[in-house]
């Protein structure tokens, strides 16, 4: 709640958001600015001669401001990225460990996870299309764990070319949004 004791004459919107501890709103405002405007805004002083960084009372806000000054550009994710984990249960070695670590990391950050065990070629592409159609998809991460060869990964019914996966990920729905393909394969 903004009260008169929390507002100081000459505060910018960034000053106010810092005072209120509104990290998400502050991230949105900073993401909408180019690097030069962001730097200038974070350097502005109110009439009490305080910059937004000097007003930061929480460690999270202070770190966000410190980090954003150093960035030439960054992409704000208004919603959690969609994460597709595709893995073969017939693999040997560290693949189960890799899957567990990835799943734990993605769960920790509250990402939307879609897991597919032993996907077919068709299911590989359908899973990517389904994730893209989720509402508010701000980014897409596809992790493929299993056997493969150069330029391909194995599905239960044959090889899937990495190039085909990449082309499917580059749909108009995700135009201008981050897309990541993470491939953990074992070659035999």
Evaluate whether 183 touches 162 at the Cβ level (below 8 Å): yes
Please give the pLDDT value at position 95.
52
SS3 136: coil
pLDDT > 90: what percent of the chain? 12
Please give the pLDDT value at position 89.
61
CA 178: distance to chain centroid? Answer: 8
Q: What DSSP state is assigned to residue 49?
A: S
Find the DSSP H helices in the chain: 13-20, 23-31, 35-43, 52-55, 59-70, 95-108, 121-133, 162-169
pLDDT digits (tens, 9 = 90+) for 68-77: 766 665 566 6
- Largest Cα–Cα distance of the chain, in whole Å? 68
User: Could you state, in chain order, the average pLDDT of each consecutive group of 10 residues for the chain (188 residues)?
Assistant: 50 80 80 77 82 81 75 66 80 58 74 88 93 81 84 89 92 84 67
| Burial state string for 92-111 with b = 16 or more CB within 10 A and e = fewer than 16 | eeebeebbeebbeebeeeeb
């Amino acid at each position: 709640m903004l009260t008169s004791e929390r507002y100081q004459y000459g505060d910018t919107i960034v000053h106010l958001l810092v005072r209120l501890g509104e990290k998400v709103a502050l991230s949105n405002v900073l993401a909408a600015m180019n690097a030069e405007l962001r730097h200038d805004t974070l350097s502005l002083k109110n009439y009490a001669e305080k910059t937004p960084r000097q007003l930061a009372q929480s460690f999270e806000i202070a770190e966000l401001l410190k980090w954003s000054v150093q960035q030439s550009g960054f992409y704000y994710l208004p919603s959690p990225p969609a994460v597709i984990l595709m893995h073969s249960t017939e693999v040997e070695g560290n693949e189960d460990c890799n899957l567990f670590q990835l799943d734990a990391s993605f769960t920790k950050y509250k990402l939307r996870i879609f897991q597919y065990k032993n996907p077919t070629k068709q299911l590989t592409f359908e899973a990517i299309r389904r994730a893209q159609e989720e509402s508010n998809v701000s980014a897409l991460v596809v992790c493929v764990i299993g056997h493969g060869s150069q330029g391909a990964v194995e599905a239960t019914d044959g090889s899937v070319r990495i190039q085909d996966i990449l082309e499917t990920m580059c749909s108009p729905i995700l135009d201008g949004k981050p897309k990541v393909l993470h491939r953990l394969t074992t070659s035999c």
